[in-house]
Structure formats: C-alpha cells, structure tokens
C-alpha cells in the first residue's frame, strides 16, 4: 500500500524522496512560488507542498500525486514539508462548480453536500474520531470478556415501547389503496406485521443468559418526528447485557465504559480533539478530562425531582413533577447546574419506563438508570431486567401487552432465570459528546431524520 500523509509527516526530514497522494485543500501563489496543501484524511493536518513555479491548471479539490523531497518546514505547525519536484493531476475539480471553496461553510450547507463534506477539516475529524471510538467499543468489551452478537434488524415485536416504529412491508400498498381493501398481513412477507428494530435488547438478553456477557453494536431505527439536535431516525446503538448482575453492576459498567472511550479518544485522537476544542466547543478537552477524574454522581429520580423543584420556576418551560418523564431541559439542568458533572439517575416511576425493567419493592419505581452528561443530557439508558416470571407477566398485563407474543422472552424467566442488566449507548450521542458537535446530523456520514434521507 502507498504511504499515507500521516506516515510521511512522521518521517525525519533528511531529504527523503517521497510521493504524496491526496486532494488539494488550498493553493496559494506568491511571486513565482506555489504553496499547495494536500490532504488524504489520514490526519487532521495535510502536507504543505512548495513548488518553485506557478500552477495555473491546479485548483482546490483536485486529486494529485506529488513527488518531491522532505525538508524541514519553517512553519511552526509542522516539522516537515515537501519541496515538490513533479506534479501529476489525477482528477481535476472545476473551480467554477466545485462547492467546497476556501471560505467557511455552514454545517447546514455541508449537509446538502454530504457526499463531499468529509473533505472538510471538521467532518474529516469527526469521521476519524468516530472510527476510533467504534474500535474502542470492541476493544473494551473484548478485554472484559464480552461476546459480540448480531441481533436482527427486522423484527415482529411491536410493543417494546422504545419509540415509534418504521413498518417493513412488501405488500403492494398502491394496489390495496386502489381496491380499497385493508392490508392482510398474513399475506405480507413474514406472514405478519414487521418493523425495523428500535433496540436489540430482548434478543441480547437471550444470549446473555447463555454466554453471560454479550453486547450488540448495530443500526437502530426510530420514527422520531421530533426535530431535535440529538435525535436521528437511524442511529447506531451499543447494548451490553450481562447476567448475574444488578443495577449497581450496570452503573459501574456504564461508568467504566464511558471513561475508557473518553480516555482512548483523548489519547489517540489528540490533534482532532484539540481542533474541536479550538473551533467547535471551547473548553472541550478540559470538560472531557474532568469526567475522567470524576466519580459519576448517583441520584434517584425522586431526589432529582426534589432538586428540580428547588430551582426557580422560570428555569423550565415544562414544570417538573413526580411521575412525568424528565425533559432534556431538566436533564441538562441537573447535570450542568446541580451536579456539574455526569449523573446516573435511577429508580424511575414504572409508568414512564418499559415493561421489562425490574420492579422495586415499593411497587412504584423500577430499577432503571439513565446516564446524563453536561452539554448533551441523556447519553445512556438502561436497567436491571425483571427476572421474576410472575411479576413480568403481571407488568405486561397492566400494559396490555400480549404475553403470547413474548413467549420466547418469558422462557428466559422460566428456565434458569438470573438477575441481569444492561444498557444502550447511542453511538452518535457519544461522538457528539466527544467532539462537541452541536447537531447529531453532523456526526454520522449520511443522517436520516424526519424529512431527510438524501444520498
Ligand atoms: P431520549 O429521551 O434522549 O429520546 P430515549 O429515552 O428514547 O432517549 P433509550 O430508549 O433509552 O432512549 O435508548 C438508549 C440510548 O439510545 C439513549 O440513551 C440515546 O443515547 C440513544 N438514542 C435514543 N434515541 C435516539 C435517537 N433518536 N437518535 C440517536 N440516539 C438515540
Ligand atoms: Mn427517545
């Protein structure tokens, strides 16, 4: 394989002959010299290539192969640069139409040209951090004895309650509409109604009760109509599930996992994170480092409501009351103003959580946990699962869920039931948190959100 620019930049500048390949980010002409910055995405920085003549035919965006000698650079930000000897333009980019010109573009504009935006400094850095974090997820679980499992993307269970579902069908809807017939899902591909999954948890539980420690890492779909900076319709979720574990074990795992991911990013993505700190979110590095040194605060939902009630009523547009789901404004108030650091909120009212969460002795609250972080709010949601067959069945009854449809899931409580727990970490929320990017649509290559599925 041909060397990457990041490897070339690390070479000693002892007049080595090298060939650089990449795309032109900028070109400056000064008297008879031309300074060309070439990037290949392997690092935040590109390599400066200096020609002793003008290059009228070369423009921003073109792909090039430049041969020359590495020499010490007079510029402060780089050790070496290329004294260029020859240039081959591999692919031109017409300056009259190439959309990525030197000026700063808005992220909204870049979303319209998502097929080219990875060539910008910011989106390139996001892609590298995202890739490193994905690998770190596997590293962490591998080190901790977890098995990576793949759960189905198409599902026929519709009552999990995590969010609105996308239906999957091969029925001819237009023909049905013309004939004014109601769809018969027995004639559909799977013989019943089917959907894109909102979570791999239930299937992960079945493997956790065989392999003890498992995790999933895959795409998840929610028809979230809410047009926020933290919600996508298609996102990636990491869901560890562990047997012989209670909520406390789950909280420890979540804290260790997040800290491992942050320290990996701080260590291996240092240049990219310094860039985000300078250009996207001031103080980002300090805030990430402070999380590493902190202990996550544990707070019950009930105590959290008490804290929120102490705040002046003008702090919120929606008044916090016991029994209501916390809004993002409440979550951020708790983590940014009350605790000033990550919080794990636990023991939510059963009415606002899913049927499978373990019921507490009070009969009112469940062993749920949400991890909240400053600047973002919820990053992780999880729980200890109900492992008692009778309790689980009666919870399902209360919620009008047909136990027949979940027979396989109930079997886990019939045969060799154990206390077990797990959580879901939204991968894009993590990337958002680590990079400081404001909008979740800018931390996934091709965002799918309400009204948006281009490319
Ligand atoms: P929120 O209240 O923020 O909408 P949720 O309570 O619906 O989240 P869970 O069902 O607990 O979320 O999902 C687990 C995790 O998946 C969340 O903590 C979050 O990190 C992530 N997540 C949930 N919904 C989305 C979404 N629409 N886009 C991106 N990530 C999401
Ligand atoms: Mn949601």
Q: Residue 306 pLDDT more than 70? A: yes
Contact 373, 383 (CB under 8 A): no
Report the predicted TM-score, pTM, of the whole model to 2 decimal places: 0.96
Mean pLDDT value across residues 333-356: 96
**Can you give the pLDDT at residue 76?**
81
Contact indicator for 263, 307 with CB cutoff of 8 Å: no
Cα gap 104→382, rounded to integer Å: 40
Task: Tell me how far apart the alpha carbons of residues 261 and 136 are, in angstroms, rounded to a whole number.
Answer: 6
**What is the chain's alpha carbon radius of gyration, rounded to the nearest angstrom?**
26
Q: What is the rounded distance in angstroms from the CA atom of residue 352 to the CA atom of residue 341?
A: 25
Tally of CA atoms within 13 A in the half-sphere of 54 that contains its CB: 6
Residue 14 has a pLDDT of 77
> Quick one: which ligand is closest to 354's CA?
1
Give the pLDDT band (50/70/90) at residue 145. very high
Q: What average pLDDT does the structure give for the chain?
A: 95
How far is the centre of ligand 2, averaged over its atoms, from the C-alpha of 356 (Å)?
Answer: 17
pLDDT at 159 over 60: no
- Please tell me the distance from the alpha carbon of residue 5 to that of residue 115, in angstroms, as a whole number: 22
Burial classification of residue 225, based on how many CB atoms lie within 10 Å of its CB (0-12 exposed, 13-18 middle, 19 or more buried): exposed
User: Does the pLDDT at position 127 exceed 80?
Assistant: yes
- For the segment 187-233, what is each residue's pLDDT rounded down to a tens digit? 999 999 999 999 999 999 999 999 999 999 999 999 988 889 999 99
Query: Which atom of ligand 1 is closest in space to residue 354's alpha carbon?
Result: 10
Q: Give the tokens for residue 166.
A: 């996308």
CA 381 / ligand 2 centre spacing (Å): 10
> Which string of DSSP letters, residue by residue, matches 191-251?
SS-EEE-S-SHHHHHHHHHHHSEEEEEEEEE-------SS--SEEEEEEEEEES--HHHHH
> 435 pLDDT exceeds 80?
yes
- Residue 131 φ/ψ, nearest 5 degrees: -65, -45
Mutate to test the pocket of ligand 1, among 224, 237, 240, 432 (most ligand atoms within 8 A of CB): 237
- Indicate the Cα dihedral angle 228, 233, 238, 243, nearest 10°: 100
**How much is the average pLDDT of 107-116?**
97
Q: Please report the domains of the chain, with CATH numbers, ordered by start residue.
A: 5-103 (2.40.50.140), 118-162+198-442 (3.30.930.10)
Q: Is the pLDDT at 293 greater than 70, yes or no? A: yes
Q: Give the binding-site residues of ligand 1, using a 6 Å CB cut-off.
A: 162-163, 222, 224, 230-232, 235, 237, 378-381, 424-426, 428-429
pLDDT at 455: 94
**Average pLDDT in the 249-270 region?**
98
Q: Indicate which atom in ligand 1 lies nearest the CA of residue 233.
A: 27
Judged by DSSP in three states, 143 sits in helix
Which residue, among 319, 429, 412, 428, has the nearest Cα to 370 in the 3D structure?
429
Say how many residues make up the chain. Answer: 455
* Residue located nearest, by CA, to atom 23 of ligand 1: 426
User: H or E stretch including 81?
Assistant: strand 80-91
pLDDT tens per residue, range 42-77: 999 999 999 999 999 999 999 999 999 999 998 888
Ligand 1 binding pocket mutation candidate from 166, 424, 443 (most atoms within 8 A of CB): 424
Q: What is the mean pLDDT of residues 443-455?
A: 95
Residue with tokens 């993002």: 328
Q: Which residues in 246-390 belong to E strands, given as ranges? A: 297-300, 343-349, 365-373, 377-384
């Amino acid at each position: 394989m041909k060397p990457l620019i990041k490897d070339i930049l690390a070479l000693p500048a002892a007049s080595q002959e090298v060939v650089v390949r990449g795309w032109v980010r900028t070109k400056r002409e000064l008297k008879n010299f031309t300074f060309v910055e070439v990037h290949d995405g392997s690092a935040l920085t590109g390599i400066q290539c200096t020609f002793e003549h003008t290059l009228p035919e070369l423009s921003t965006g073109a792909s090039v192969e430049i041969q020359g000698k590495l020499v010490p650079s007079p510029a402060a930000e780089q050790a070496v640069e290329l004294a260029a000897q020859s240039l081959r333009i591999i692919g031109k980019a017409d300056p009259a139409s190439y959309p990525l010109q030197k000026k700063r573009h808005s992220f909204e504009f870049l979303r319209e040209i998502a097929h080219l935006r990875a060539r910008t400094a910011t989106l390139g850095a996001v892609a590298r951090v995202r890739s490193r974090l994905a690998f770190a997820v596997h590293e962490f679980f591998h080190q901790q004895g977890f098995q990576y499992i793949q759960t189905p993307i198409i599902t026929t269970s519709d009552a999990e309650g995590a969010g609105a579902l996308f239906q999957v069908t091969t029925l001819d809807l237009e023909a049905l509409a013309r004939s004014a017939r109601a769809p018969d899902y027995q004639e559909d591909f799977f013989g019943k109604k089917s959907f894109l999954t909102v979570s791999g948890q239930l299937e992960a539980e079945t493997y956790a009760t065989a392999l003890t420690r498992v995790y999933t890492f895959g795409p998840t779909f929610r028809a979230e109509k809410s047009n926020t900076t933290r919600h996508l319709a298609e996102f990636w979720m990491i869901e560890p599930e562990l047997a012989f574990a209670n909520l406390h074990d789950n909280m420890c795992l979540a804290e260790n996992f997040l800290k491992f991911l942050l320290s990996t990013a701080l260590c291996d993505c240092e240049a990219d994170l310094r860039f985000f700190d300078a250009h996207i979110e001031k103080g980002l590095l300090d805030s990430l480092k402070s999380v590493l040194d902190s202990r996550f605060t544990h707070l019950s939902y009930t105590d959290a409501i008490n804290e929120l009630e102490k705040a002046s009523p003008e702090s919120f547009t929606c008044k916090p009351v016991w029994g209501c789901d916390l809004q993002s404004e409440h979550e951020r108030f708790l983590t940014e103003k009350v605790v000033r650091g990550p919080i794990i909120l636990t023991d939510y009212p059963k009415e606002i959580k899913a049927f499978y969460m373990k019921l507490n002795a009070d009969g009112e609250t469940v062993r749920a946990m949400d991890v909240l972080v400053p600047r973002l709010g919820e990053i992780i949601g999880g729980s200890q699962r109900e492992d008692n067959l009778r309790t689980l069945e009666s919870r399902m009854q209360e919620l009008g869920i047909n136990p027949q449809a979940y027979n396989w899931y109930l079997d886990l409580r019939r045969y060799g039931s154990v206390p077990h727990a797990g959580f879901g970490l939204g991968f894009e929320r993590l990337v958002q948190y680590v990079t400081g990017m404001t909008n979740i649509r800018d931390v996934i290559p091709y965002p799918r959100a309400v009204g948006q599925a281009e490319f």
